[in-house]
A and B are shown apart, each in its own frame.
Chain A
Amino acid sequence: GENVEQHPSTLSVQEGDSAVIKCTYSDSASNYFPWYKQELGKRPQLIIDIRSNVGEKKDQRIAVTLNKTAKHFSLHITETQPEDSAVYFCAASIPGNQFYFGTGTSLTVIP
């Protein structure tokens, strides 16, 4: 089955700096890659996603890039703010199959 690895497991940045979280996947059949943000005590919330026919997608301060050849995708957060502090999960999905999640990255934005 699919295997998703996520790095780093923890990340601390100064407010205003950028944060990058990277994930790799193993199954080339995966074609949908969502990112979730989970604040303490809350449910994971979908923040951005990318499909395999797209190389990059941006939504305000958040962007995701996908390299199908290398089988990796990344989340980029620019101009970080304290409210960006949360655990971020990447995932990969194969049509008709389950979602495979990374182990999460705990992001702390230091004011």
Chain B
Amino acid sequence: KAGVTQTPRYLIKTRGQQVTLSCSPISGHRSVSWYQQTPGQGLQFLFEYFSETQRNKGNFPGRFSGRQFSNSRSEMNVSTLELGDSALYLCASSLAAGLYSEQYFGPGTRLTVT
């Protein structure tokens, strides 16, 4: 079974631009979560989608948004990029965001904002 994939793997943008990242979950997985990882900051939860609905949301500004499609693929968008948005963005999928649901991570998209 193919793992979680993310595209693109690397991205360089300038301040003020917007960016869209994509995540394809493991086949059959309906839940997709997004995390921001910066050095020394661990995994900061952005949001989680299940069956095309945002079910949980972290403490990030409205510039960060996402969506999930009927095939469970998910995208996240960051508008008006700031230097502090430079980070590794990880998505993770699980069978269902519920009882004992193992979560598997994608390789991440490394975003650099200049």
Contact = CB atoms under 8 A, between A and B. Distances in A.
Interface stretch (A15-23, A39-47, A75-83): A39-47
A46 B104 contact: yes
A96 B104 CA distance: 16
Interface in A43-83: 43-46, 49, 51
Interface residues of A, number: 23
Nearest to A46: B102
Interface of A: 31-32, 34, 36, 42-46, 49, 51, 89, 93, 95-104
Contacts of B106: 43
Interface residues of B, number: 24
Contacts, number: 53
Shortest 4 CB-CB contacts between residues of A and residues of B? A98-B56, A43-B105, A103-B42, A101-B43
Interface string B82-102: 000000001010000111111
Contact of B45 (A36, A43, A49, A98): A98
Contacts of A46: 102-104
Contacts of B43: 44, 89, 101, 104
22 contacts: A32-B100, A34-B103, A43-B90, A43-B107, A43-B108, A44-B43, A44-B90, A46-B104, A49-B102, A51-B100, A89-B43, A95-B99, A96-B55, A98-B33, A98-B45, A98-B58, A99-B45, A99-B103, A101-B35, A101-B45, A103-B41, A104-B43
